[in-house]
Amino acid sequence: MTTTLLGGLSPSRFLRDVWHKRPLLIRNAVPGFSGLLSPDEMRQLARREDVESRLIQGSGTPWQLDHGPFKKSDFKHLPKTGWTLLVQSLNHVLPEADALLARFDFIPHARLDDLMVSYAVPGGSVGPHFDSYDVFLLQGEGHRRWQISTQTDLAILDDTPLKILRRFEAEEEWVLGPGDMLYLPPHVAHYGVAEEACMTYSIGFRAPTADELAHGFLMHLQDTLKLEGRYADPDLRRQAHPGEIGRAMLAQIEGMIARIKWGKRDIAEFAGRYLSEPKPNVFFVAPDDPLSRAAFNRQANKAGVALDPKSRLLFADGRFFINGEAFAPAADEIPALKQLADRHRLAAPMPAPLRERLYHWYEAGWLEIDDQ
């Protein structure tokens, strides 16, 4: 199956030939796309406590970076050119943004980070930079000129609050209009400048460093590890230096530490918890006036259910993970849970074995009655 989204490539070919390997410009990737919200709606979001936002001013040096939440007055005296407002995780607050992300489900959900939107006035830019992640840059309203470079010199300027490349030598350049999309693998330098007031939607992916994964795994081990025994020395001999930690002592400690073992199940358990853990700034809101169990079942049976867009439901090796917690479902729950994990919604009627679990998730604000 080929798709317009990938410029006529099938997802499999895209993954084989392009993903994580080379940039790709796709004209008219989302036909008729003109964006998901207005600049005014964006400014409203940037004023919310629960929404991460940034304002970047400058179009060469010096750059100024301010973090939200912003006040209405912060936007009053901005110049007509040369600034960008960025709002992170638009998919958490806008169902249309979550639906847009669903088009990218040829990439595992565990790799997905979020949908960021930028609004720039003419000349607005976040500067020439590189990212450590794959990104699809989908143009909404207005036009943006993108220059890219596969340069290996990725040195960044010292005294700016942004990661700006010291040197940027464009190799290719395009002007993207509504519905056009540019895919960039990690470390491809890029510089996007608004030709006119414009909005760009970044579908961003996450790629934890080896160090982050290792630290996370060690914390997981610490929580789950249980070793028997205690240091013992029935053969203790007198040492020349009582202040010395002797060889026998070191050997015994080494032997104890060497009993820390892990296998594929521990890795899957850790990966599931770690990758389904919401970002630290994510909070779930329990329903104000929750439906009774019976009313929930009735409504779910009519309309189906949908995960809250902030929820992350993943599975690995027969175990399921939601928002950092692990659980082992009964065999008859599994097909529906897999569907919910893949599609983020479950059509009516509700599979009976799942009702109890779904009701708890509903009470926690992790899931809602589907309103689509």
Which residues lie near ligand SIN (CB under 6 A)? Answer: 84, 118, 126, 131, 135, 190, 192, 200, 202
Q: How far is the CB of 135 from ligand SIN (least distance, A)?
A: 5
Determine phi and psi for 368, rounding to 5 degrees.
Answer: -140, 165
Verify binding: residue 23, Co ion, rule CB under 5 A: no
Q: How far is the CB of 99 from ligand SIN (least distance, A)?
A: 20
What x-and-dash track marks residues 80-119 binding Co ion by CB under 5 A? Answer: ----------------------------------------
Sign of CA dihedral 186, 90, 137, 142: negative
Query: Which residue carries 């199940």 as its tokens?
Result: 265
Q: Which of the choices Co ion, ligand SIN, none does residue 202 contact, using the CB cut-off of 5 to 8 A by kind?
A: ligand SIN
Q: How far is the CB of 195 from ligand SIN (least distance, A)?
A: 13
Q: How far is the CB of 144 from ligand SIN (least distance, A)?
A: 7
Q: Which of the choices Co ion, ligand SIN, none does residue 59 contact, using the CB cut-off of 5 to 8 A by kind?
A: none
Q: 116 or 367, CB closer to ligand SIN?
A: 116
Separation between Cα atoms, residue 82 and residue 350, nearest integer Å: 52
Q: Which of the choices ligand SIN, Co ion, none does residue 68 contact, using the CB cut-off of 5 to 8 A by kind?
A: none
The angle formed by the CA atoms of residues 174, 179 and 181, to the nearest 5 degrees, is: 50
Q: 74 or 131, CB closer to Co ion?
A: 131
Separation between Cα atoms, residue 98 and residue 95, nearest integer Å: 5
User: In 3D, which of 207, 204, 224 has the Cα closest to residue 268?
Assistant: 224
Q: 144 or 220, CB closer to ligand SIN?
A: 144
Do the beta carbons of residue 355 and residue 364 sit within 8 Å? no
Q: 131 or 195, CB closer to Co ion?
A: 131
Which residue's Cβ lies closest to Co ion? 131
Do the beta carbons of residue 312 and residue 278 sit within 8 Å? yes
From the list 41, 74, 131, 277, which residue makes contact with Co ion (rule: CB under 5 A)?
A: 131
Do the beta carbons of residue 304 and residue 358 sit within 8 Å? no
Q: 5 or 193, CB closer to ligand SIN?
A: 193
Contacts for 232 with CB less than 8 Å, ≥ 6 apart: 252
Q: 204 or 329, CB closer to ligand SIN?
A: 204
Verify binding: residue 50, Co ion, rule CB under 5 A: no
Q: 184 or 271, CB closer to ligand SIN?
A: 184
User: In 3D, which of 196, 188, 194 has the Cα closest to residue 169?
Assistant: 188
Q: Which stretch binds Co ion (CB under 5 A): 55-63, 108-116, 128-136, 332-340?
A: 128-136
Do the beta carbons of residue 237 and residue 246 sit within 8 Å? no
For residue 345 the two structure tokens come to 């919604």
Q: How far is the CB of 71 from ligand SIN (least distance, A)?
A: 23
Q: 164 or 341, CB closer to Co ion?
A: 164
**Position 253, amino acid:** I
Q: How far apart are the first and last CA of the chain?
A: 26
Query: Which residue carries 């026998």 as its tokens?
Result: 248
Separation between Cα atoms, residue 366 and residue 295, nearest integer Å: 18
Q: Which of the choices Co ion, ligand SIN, none does residue 84 contact, using the CB cut-off of 5 to 8 A by kind?
A: ligand SIN
Q: Name the residues that contact Co ion, by CB under 5 A.
A: 131
